[in-house]
Chain A
Amino acid sequence: MIGYYVRLALKSFRRTPGLTALMACAIACGIAACIVTLTVYHTLSGNPIWWKNGVLYAVTMDSWDPKSPYDPAQPGLAPDQLTYQDATYLFDSDIPRHKALLTLIGGALSGAPGQSIPAIAFTDATTAGFFHMFDVPFEYGGPWSAAADRGPDPVIVLSRNENDELFGGADSVGRSILWNDQRFRIVGVLDHWRPEPKFYSLSGGGTGDFGGTTDAFVPFRWDVTQRHWPAGTFGCWGSSPINTYRELLGSECVWVTLWVELPTAGQRRRFLDFMNAYWAHQRANGRFQRPRNNHLWKVSQWLKMHHVVSDDSRLLLRLAFAFLAVCLINTVGILLAKFLRGAPVSGIRRALGASRRQLFEQHLVEVALLSLGGSSLGVALGALGLQGVHAMYAGSEAGYGAAAHFDVQGILWALALAALSTLVAGVYPAWRIGRVSPAAYLKSQ
């Protein structure tokens, strides 16, 4: 019977092409609006390293002022960065498979062939484990060695964009470059790597959650020996003045992020025990006077804790769904009018032996075909809309442009929406037409 119903539906579309186009367009517009906002929302709220969600952890400990919480709005949360002394002590643990210290520092790169003015470079001071734990791809060379971390050696890893800008995309490994007028040896150049949101440095600030890139990476301990003050956000408490870099290292200021890779539950438990033991020891020595709040954050929890998705995006998503609802309600109205206009024919079919269920199925097939057309058009419009968003926001700090990619998940969302809209838009009119009394129309034909 499905084939028969499809034939009847196509005849029905041919009979009312204007109405059919209107309904398909209404569904398409609603779905397109949802696709655009859902895709952007999904990307903004997505975990860019989801395959390691239960493996990578950001580490926090509450070393803050015993008299007031770090964030009065969320008193249960510890600072999202660590003090230098805590971060480096925990970093020295051999429990994690990989580990990385991270802080943002300012700098300018110069000395490349033909370069006339220095290029400002957002630079992360980190450790070699960073590249391993975050699966960072390299176009040329690779990460520096653990020995370079300990050295520390003046080695540097450039982003692909930076290498394109300074060396025209050529293999620059082994060449020298000046970072803040100090000579560095290039050991690696990244391939395309632009995680969005930039989950690994949410607490460091500087280049934004979206659209920001790190231009260069240098060894963390080299940074410390060179006494570069952090360029990202950092917070301090207490009344002791911090005038020297040495005072910063020994202070209660939080400015270092620590990431650890703990693949097994046993490793996680042991590392937490290690943190707790350290916390107890420090508390006994007069530090950590707030309640114990040692935490390992999964990447997804880390993103949520940092409110990566703005309220604007959520509002936009709600508006898009409201728009889809309006489109669907209009479609329901038009469908109802169309089906009821065809009630006399349905009356004839009932007289000839069609049951209510068969009429319901017949009209539902018509709605499904309409929805298929509307959602196909909607997917195409959505793809166009995403291209528009991409073009409009290209290069903006908000990063919507970069976030607006139409991926497989987007298409799956669209299909799910289409199926849902079929149900929502079609069930009532199709059910309603089955309830029409056939006798009422047979005499009046």
Chain B
Amino acid sequence: MLKMRDIAKIYRTDLIETHALRHFSLEVGTGQFVAVSGPSGSGKTTFLNIAGLLETFDSGTYELDGRDVSRLGDDARSRIRNEKIGFIFQSFNLIPDLDIYDNVDVPLRYRRMKTPERRKRIESALELVGLASRMKHLPSQLSGGQQQRVAIARAIAGDPPLILADEPTGNLDSLMARQVMDLLEKINDMGTTVVLVTHDPELARRAQRNIHIVDGSVLDSPAYQRRAPHPTPQADAAAE
């Protein structure tokens, strides 16, 4: 699903250069549930942004779902982001003045789907996360856990093969965190690849694979082997 080879990303200012990722290589197979952890500033978010085509990189190659996406223009990157990737953020990132229905609708709008098809997908996604009865509510009228479930519904409404989740439980209490993880596992069980960035070893332990990033490189890949509902490619991560 995701194959990065020798990726380097450097942030430059007039005075300094910061190597966010260096010789970063990683393979994630289709249907895997991968947890990515590492200390603050290690490059987890940069990895996620590059994986999600939100940022470009300086060198290396990146294949997503069998296609080289290293040097695509903005339109093509946006289209792939819209069709292949679902994002879940720590701070939910719902659009405050759109109701729940319209929030879930956003990625579908950019895919130029017809109204009946969009409605079907939105209702089905909200039903999956248990919020079908709250469609006309604004995000501010929901709890943190409910907002994150809306964000999950938005991520899966377009049926993308890859979900990128950046500390999705970071702002939630443990009960809600567990519910969100249950949902992610459910989505993964349906065949969607999930890459989860987390600080929480408890949550990481629930993933099939664990990737540890230190100083912009993949350090190791301890396998907790919580469960293995889908085939797992061998030696996915190459530590430097």
Contacts and interface: CB of A to CB of B under 8 A. Distances in A.
Same complex origin of A and B: yes
Interface in A318-355: 344-345, 348-355
B45 A357 contact: no
A349 B49 CA distance: 14
A356 interface: yes
A345 to B, nearest CB: 5
A348 B55 contact: no
Contact of B112 (A1, A344, A443): A1
Nearest to B75: A355
Nearest to A444: B91
Interface in B162-179: 166
Nearest to B77: A355
A351 B95 contact: no
A438 B110 contact: no
Interface string B49-79: 1001011000000000000000000110011
A352 B45 contact: no
Given A351-B87, A353-B107, A437 B74 contact: no
A439 B55 contact: yes
A442 B97 contact: no
Interface string A430-445: 0000000111001111
A11 B95 CA distance: 12
B74 A356 contact: yes
B79 A443 contact: no
B107 A438 contact: no
Contact of B45 (A353, A358, A437, A443): A443
Contacts of A348: 93-95, 106
Nearest to A441: B93
Nearest to B90: A443
A4 interface: yes
A211 B4 CA distance: 81
Contacts of B19: none
Interface in A397-429: none
Contacts of B112: 1
Interface residues on A, range: 20 to 34
Contact of B87 (A1, A15, A352, A358): A352
B95 A353 contact: no
What does DSSP make chain A's interface, helix, strand, loop or mixed?
helix
Nearest to B111: A353
Contacts of A350: 54, 78
Given A15-B97, A442-B89, A351 B110 contact: no
B81 interface: yes
Nearest to A15: B97
A354 B92 CA distance: 18
Given A11-B97, A437-B55, A439-B54, A353 B110 contact: yes
B193 interface: no
B91 A1 contact: no
Contact of A439 (B49, B82, B83, B110): B49
Nearest to B82: A353
A144 B198 CA distance: 101
Contacts of B154: 352
Nearest to B74: A356
Nearest to A434: B74
A352 B107 contact: yes
Contacts of A354: 78, 82, 110
A10 B127 CA distance: 29
Nearest to B164: A351
B106 A349 contact: yes
A1 B109 contact: yes
Contacts of A356: 74, 78
A4 B109 contact: yes
Contacts of B87: 351-352, 442
A1 B113 CA distance: 10
A358 B96 CA distance: 20
Contacts of B54: 350-351, 437-439, 442
A355 B83 CA distance: 13
Nearest to A357: B75
A143 B75 CA distance: 73
Interface centre among B83, B110, B158 (most CB of A within 10 A): B110
Interface in A1-53: 1, 4, 11, 14-15
Contacts of B107: 352-353
Interface in B104-138: 106-107, 109-112
A356 B110 CA distance: 12
B62 to A, nearest CB: 15
Contacts of B52: 351
Cβ-closest 4 pairs across A and B: A353-B82, A355-B78, A353-B110, A352-B107
27 contacts: A4-B109, A11-B97, A14-B97, A15-B97, A344-B93, A348-B95, A349-B106, A351-B52, A351-B54, A352-B81, A352-B106, A353-B78, A353-B79, A354-B78, A355-B75, A356-B78, A357-B74, A357-B75, A358-B78, A439-B45, A439-B49, A439-B54, A439-B55, A443-B90, A443-B91, A443-B166, A445-B93
Interface of B: 45, 49, 52, 54-55, 74-75, 78-79, 81-83, 87, 89-98, 106-107, 109-112, 154, 158, 166
Given A349-B110, A438-B54, 14 more contacts: A11-B97, A345-B95, A351-B93, A352-B154, A353-B83, A353-B107, A355-B110, A357-B74, A437-B55, A442-B54, A442-B93, A443-B45, A443-B89, A445-B91
